[in-house]
Amino acid sequence: MKSKVTYFIIIMLGFVLLSQRGNAQFGINKVQYQSFEWKYLETKNFDVYFYNNSNYLAHFAAVEAEKALQSIQSFLKYRINRRVPLIVYNSHNEFQQTNVIGSYLPEGVGGVTELFKNRVVVPYMGDWEQFRHVIHHELVHAVLNDMFYGGTFQSAMTSGNLRQIPLWMNEGLAEYLSQYGYDQQTDMFMRDISLSENLTGGLENLNGYMAYRGGQTFYWYVAEKYGKERIADLINRLRIQGNVNSTFQSTFNLSLEDFSEQWEKDLKKYYWPDIDKFQSAETFSSRITNHKKEYNFYNSSPAISPDGERMAYISDDGGLLGVFTRSLDKKDDKHELITSLREQDFEELNILTPGISWNPKGTHLAISAKSGGEEAIYIVDAKNGDYDKLKFGIQSITSVNWSPDGKYLAFIGSPGEQTDIYIYNMDTKKIQNLTNDVFTDKNPVWPNDSKKIYFISDRGENATINYTNDNFLMWKYDYKQSDIYTLDIETKQIKRITNSPKNNKTSIAISADGNKMLYVSDENGIGNIYEMNLLTGATKPKTNSLSSISQLSLSKDGNKLLFSSLTGGGYDIFLFRFPFDKNLANDTLPITKFRTQLLEKDKIQKELADTNKTGSLAQTEQHLTSYGDFVLDFSRQELVKANPDVINNDTQTEFENSYSDIEDQIFPVHDYKIKFSTDAVLGNPWYNTYSGFQGAAQMLFSDVLGDHQIYAQAYFLNDLNNSSFLVQYSYLPTIIDYSFTAYHSAVYAYSDINTWYRFRNWGLAINASYPLDLFNRVEGGLSWMNVTKENIYEVGYGNLSRMLFVPEIKYVHDNTLWAGFGPHQGSRYNIDLKGSPKLSSSGISFITLTGDFRQYVPVTNYMSLALRAAAGKSFGANPRNFFLGGTENWINPSWYNGYFPFDQPEDFAFMDFPMPLRGWAVGESKGSQFFLTNAEFRFPLFRALLAGPIPVLIQNFQGCFFFDMGGAWYGNLSDFKSTTTDIDGNIKVNHLLMSTGIGTRLYLLGIPLKIDVAWRNLYYAWSEPSWLFSLGYDW
C-alpha cells in the first residue's frame, strides 16, 4: 500500500510541475516591488531570516519560535531532527512578494509552511499577539512535517512515508497548540455553528475555515473526554498506521464515523442551554443584511452616513469582496462602489482589519486597500465610485477614520517593526505619527470635538510614548492584554480609560456629547456592547447577545448603532436603535461555561502562586491552557475541579525557567549567502498529445528564499540525440524575473511518403518577465534554435536543418478567479509577436502575430459561462503553419491522415497547435492564419466523493456543455472557404470546423481528468460521437 501511495503522489507532483510550466502563458503575477537585503539570526533550532535591519522583529520571532517549539515537542513527545528556516517579513504586502511559495498569497493567508525545505514564512501584521500566534501555528505544521515526512519532501520520497494528515486534524492541532487549548474566539464561533444547525457532516466535512475552528474544537473535546495525553497518542498512531479510521479505532475504540457522530451530539448538548441564557441579535436589533438570502458569507465593516440614512460596508455579494452603500430603511436599495481583485487599484480590501469612514458631508468615503507594493487610502465618491488615492510609503494602513470636522484622517500605519496611530491633515497634506512606540494600537475613533482619539492598545500602564525598540523588549512583556485609551492630538498625552486587560476589546463608539462610550468586550465570554460613563467611569452592558458583536458604527445623533455579528454561519449587519436609552434588567451578564472555567482556573493559579510564594504561575496568564485541567461531563454539563497538583504541572508552566533563559539570549547575526539545496528529484510518467506517455526525470533546486531556482527535466531514450531534456535557471529577487534555458527535444514522426523522420530542436533561450501590476505583465525573450529533420531509413534523403534567432514580446493580462477546474470569473488575454530574420542560408524569415482573449462570466457561485476568441497570422517569406484540431494532453489522440501533420522542422520547433477543437483530429485544418472560438457552460455535478489532499478514489465532478468553432487557411481572407464541393458534387466542410458536446471533469488519483463527448458538424449532418480523454484543467 505504501508503494502505491508513493507512486500516486509522484504522478501528481510531476503532473503539477509540468502543468504549471505548460500553463505559464497566463496567471496572476507575483510582483517583486522591492529588493531585500537579507540576514539571519541563528538560534538553537532555527535560522531566522530578516531584512532591512529588522533585528528587533527577528529577535522577537526567534524567542517566540524557541518557546513554541519547546511546548510543541513536549506535548507531542517528539523532537525535530532538522533546523527549521523561519523567514520573517515586516508586512503582509512584503510577505506577498516571497518566492518561497510560487503562487500568489491573498490577504487571508497569514502565514505558510511548505514541505520542500520545511520553511516557515510569516508576516508581521502590526499585532504582537497575532504574530506570536501565527509563528506557533506554523511551527506545529513544521514539527508535523518533520514527524511524518522527515522534514522535507525529498526525505519523504526517499523513505516512501507519504501518509497524509486530514486538513481538519492538521490545522486543528496547529490552532489548539498555538492557543494553548481552547479559546474564546473559537468558543463563540462554535456556539453559533452548533446552534444554527450548521454543524453537519461530521469531522470529515470540516473544510475551509471550519477546518481551523472545528479541528481545534475536536482536540479540546479529546482532551476533556480522554485527557490531553490522548492527543499525542492519536497523532503518533496516525503516523504509524497511516489510516485515519483505523487510528480512531485503536485510539478511541470507535470508528471515525461513530466518533464524529458523538462529537456533534456532545457539542450540541454543551451549547444548546445557552439559548435560554443569551439573546439572539434579532431580539434587540434589526437585521440589515442576510447572507443566507443573498448567498454570500461576509457583510462587515459597517459605517453609518452622517445623516443616518445609509451605510457603507464590505461584502462578498457577487463572489468578490467589494464596498457597497445601502439604505437602512429600503434594504433592496444597495449600490456597489468598488470591487477588489479587478485592477491595480483596490487589489485587495483589508478584510482582516477593515475600516470605512464617511466625510462630514456624507459625499465621500475613506477606505484603505492594497495598491501595488504598499497600501493606500482611497477617497471615494459615494455616488459614482470615482476616487483619489493617497499614498504615504507605508506598507500597512488599516482602520481609517475621518474626523467629524473633516480636517483629519486617522489611521493605523505599520511601516516596519511597529504599529502606530497616524493622522493626515486634509488641508496641509501632511502626515504625522502620534504614538511612535513599540506597542500595538488599534481602531482609532474620533469624538465629535475632533481633538482627541480613542483607541485600543496592549500598552497596559505604559501611557508615555518613550518606549521604543531601543529600550523595551516585547518578548518579555505581556502583550496579550487589551484596554481603551485616549490620545490628545495636540499634546500627544495618552490616558487610560478602561482597566480590564484580560477582557478583549474590539470596537469603540463615542456619544454626541462626548460623555459616554460604547465598546465591545468579551467580559462574559461573548463579544457584547457595554456603555461607560466617561465622567464617572461606571459601566454597564447594553446587550446580552448569543453571538459575538463587533465593528460598531454610531450615527451622529447617537440614535442608531450598526454592528456586525457572526450569525447562522456567516457575517451580517444589524441596526440597534437608541442604544443609550435601552437598558438590560441586570447590570451583569450571564457568563459562558468556557469563560467560567477560565476564571476558575485563574483563581486556582493565583491561590497556588500565593501559597508557593514563587510567582511561577504568573506567566501562564499570558497563555491560558484552556480546558486542559478540567473534566467535562457532557451529559450533565458540570465541571469537576482538577487536583491543584495537576495544575502545577501545566504544560506552559513546565518551561518557564527555560523561557527566561531564551528571552535573555543574544543570537548571532549572519549575512545571507546563496546556497542551493534539493527541493525534489523525481522519476515519474508524463503525458502530452504529441509524445504520449514517457518516463520523466525532474529535479528542482533552490536557495532558502526561493530567489534562485534551477529546474531540470529529462526523457531519455537510447542516447542524447533521441532524448529530450531541459535545464533552466531562474533569477527572481528583482521586479523583473529572468530565466536562462538550455534544451534539446526529439520526436519521431511518420510521414505521408511512408518513412520515419526524426525531428530535433536544441538551443538556448533567455526570457524576462516584467509585471506592471498584479494583473498585467510584459514578457520578452530571445531564442537561438537549431532544428533538423532527419530521414531514419535513408540517411541524408529529405534532411533539412535550420538555425534561427527568434525574438519575442508578449503582453499578458489575467485577473481571473478560479473555481473547480478552471477560471470562474474575470478575463485573461495575451497578444504575442515573434519572428525570425534570415541571417544565414539555413535560416528562414517570418513574423507571427497571435492573440487569445477569454472571458468568464459567473452565473451563480458554482456555474459560469466561459467564452474565448483566438486568432493569428504569420507573414513573411516563410510564414509559419497553424494546425487546428484535438485537445490538450489528449490520451487517445486522433491524427489527421494518421500521422504528425508537420513536414518542416520549424513546424516541430514552434508546435503551433491552437486547441481545443474537440471531435476533430489533430492537424485537421492547417494554414498560415487561423481563428478559434470556444464557448462552455460549466456547472457542478456533485462534489467531494472522498475528501482529502491526496484522494485515493475520485473527487469533485464538474460538467460542461461546449461549442467549438475554428479554421485555418492560406492566402488572404477571401481565400477562406467554409465549405467545398467534392468530385461528386456534394458539399462538405472545408476551412470551417465546428463541434459541440458535453463533458465532465474529475480528480482521479489526484490528477485532473477530462472526459468529453463531441459531435462534429459535417455540414449535411452531425457525426457519430467521439470520446476524448485528456489530462489537465480547463482553458
- Give the tens place of pLDDT for each residue, 528-557: 999 999 999 999 999 999 999 999 999 999
Q: With 70 as the cut, is the pLDDT of residue 24 above it?
A: no
Between CA 495 and CA 186 the distance in angstroms is 32
- What is the predicted pLDDT for the residue at 218? 97
Between CA 634 and CA 631 the distance in angstroms is 9
- 344-353, 453-462, 477-486: which has the minimum mean pLDDT? 344-353
Q: With 80 as the cut, is the pLDDT of residue 971 above it?
A: yes
Residue % of the chain over a pLDDT of 90: 68
695 falls in which pLDDT band (50, 70, 90)?
A: low
Q: Which helix (H) or strand (E) holds 554?
A: strand 549-554
What mean pLDDT do residues 501-525 have? 96
Rg of the chain in Å (alpha carbons): 32
- What is the predicted pLDDT for the residue at 635? 36
- What is the predicted pLDDT for the residue at 617? 40
The gap between the terminal CA atoms of the chain, to the nearest Å, is 35
Q: With 90 as the cut, is the pLDDT of residue 615 above it?
A: no
Cell 494553548 belongs to residue:
180
Sketch out the chain's domains with CATH numbers.
Answer: 278-584 (2.120.10.30), 594-669 (no CATH), 735-1031 (2.40.160.50)
Which residues lie closer than 8 Å to 428 by C-beta, 6 or more apart? none
Between CA 678 and CA 682 the distance in angstroms is 11
Q: Which helix (H) or strand (E) holds 485?
A: strand 483-488
If we measure between CA atoms, which residue out of 691, 1028, 1022, 748 comes closest to residue 886? 1028
The whole-chain average pLDDT of the chain stands at 88
Grid cell listed for 779: 514578457
If we measure between CA atoms, which residue out of 270, 244, 271, 269 comes closest to residue 259? 244
Per residue in 124-182, pLDDT (tens digit) is 999 999 999 999 999 999 999 999 998 888 887 777 677 789 999 999 999 999 999 99
Q: Is beta strand 120-123 parallel, antiparallel or unpaired with respect to 322-327?
A: unpaired
Which of residues 67 and 656 earns the better pLDDT score? 67
Per residue in 324-340, pLDDT (tens digit) is 999 999 878 899 998 87
350 falls in which pLDDT band (50, 70, 90)?
A: confident
Which of residues 704 and 658 earns the better pLDDT score? 704
379-396: b (≥16 Cβ within 10 Å) or e: bbebeebebeebeeebbb
What mean pLDDT do residues 401-410 have? 97
- What is the predicted pLDDT for the residue at 686? 58
What mean pLDDT do residues 383-399 have? 92
Residue 309: exposure state from Cβ atoms within 10 A (0-12, 13-18, ≥19): middle
Q: What is the pTM of this model?
A: 0.88
Q: With 70 as the cut, is the pLDDT of residue 34 above it?
A: yes
Query: Helix, strand, or coil here: 360?
Result: coil
What mean pLDDT do residues 936-960 have? 64
Cell 437598558 belongs to residue:
583
- What is the predicted pLDDT for the residue at 820? 83
Strand partners of residue 669: 41
If we measure between CA atoms, which residue out of 87, 141, 143 comes closest to residue 706? 87
- 177-191, 404-418, 687-701: which has the minimum mean pLDDT? 687-701
Residue 442: exposure state from Cβ atoms within 10 A (0-12, 13-18, ≥19): buried
Sign of CA dihedral 1012, 1013, 1018, 1019: negative
Which residues lie closer than 8 Å to 822 by C-beta, 6 or more apart? 866, 938, 1033, 1034, 1035
Between CA 11 and CA 102 the distance in angstroms is 20
Grid cell listed for 70: 519547546
CA-CA distances (angstroms) from residue 900 to 260, 515, 923?
Answer: 56, 84, 8
- Cα dihedral 948, 953, 955, 958 in deg (nearest 10): 170
Between CA 963 and CA 979 the distance in angstroms is 19
9 falls in which pLDDT band (50, 70, 90)?
A: very low
- What is the predicted pLDDT for the residue at 343? 63
Query: Helix, strand, or coil here: 372?
Result: coil
- What is the predicted pLDDT for the residue at 15? 42
- What is the predicted pLDDT for the residue at 948? 37
Residue 302, sorted as left (phi over 0), alpha (psi -120 to 50) or beta, turns out to be beta
Strand partners of residue 29: none
454-488: b (≥16 Cβ within 10 Å) or e: bbbbbbbebeebebebeeeebbebbbbbbbbbbbe
User: CB–CB of 565/529 below 8 Å?
Assistant: no
- What is the predicted pLDDT for the residue at 687? 59
Q: With 90 as the cut, is the pLDDT of residue 819 above it?
A: no
Helix, strand, coil share of the chain (percent; to 5) = 20, 40, 40
Instruction: Write the single-letter amino acid at 508.
Output: I
Per residue in 639-672, pLDDT (tens digit) is 333 343 333 344 444 455 567 788 889 999 999 9
- Rounded to the nearest angstrom, the gap between the alpha carbon of residue 263 and the centroid of all alpha carbons in its chain is 29
Which of residues 119 and 819 earns the better pLDDT score? 119
